[in-house]
Amino acid sequence: MDYNNRFNNLKILDNLIKEAILDDLKSQDKKGIIEELVTPTARLLSINHKDIVRVILEREKLGSTGIGSGIGIPHGKLKGIDSLILGFGLSRKGVNFDSLDGQPAHIFFLLISPENSAGLHLKLLAQLSKILKVNSFREKLLTASNSDEIYDIIRNVDEDF
């Protein structure tokens, strides 16, 4: 797929790693959630776990990626990768993620982008934000019983956007 076509028709599932869908995050703080979200992605793609965590935490220092409504989208740009990488995590209990509305976050999308991909990075962040505004989508994610169900929920909403 050429760059321009991909940019115009960006879909969540084009970048989501199914094996990086975590349906029951255990961590109780922001750093722990980020480390937990990064673990399968780092392992599957043979990327240094510490490097990804460092990039994400540096981005968090600029302002929280807890956007409110129970959502966190930790993200950052990393040298040495050549495509967008997306992971997902669900915290059943919720965690303080320094969200804009002060509420605990339950739904997390982890976005890691190549260092030189500002356009695609912003486009996927915008797509995630648009989809996550749909209350019924968030509610379905919160009640999903496993990672396969989460994947199907994301696939269904992805087809509509």
Catalytic residue among 49, 75, 106, 121: 75
Cα dihedral: 16, 123, 59, 68 (round 10): -80
How many Å apart are CA 19 and CA 155, to the nearest integer?
A: 15
Cβ partners under 8 Å of residue 1, min gap 6? none
Pairing of strands 71-72, 75-78: unpaired
Which residue is it, tokens 């673990």?
39
Question: What backbone torsions phi and psi does residue 134 show, to the nearest 5 degrees?
Answer: -80, 110
Cβ partners under 8 Å of residue 147, min gap 6? 18, 21, 22, 23
Active site residue 75: yes
Would you name the residues annotated as active-site residues?
Answer: 75
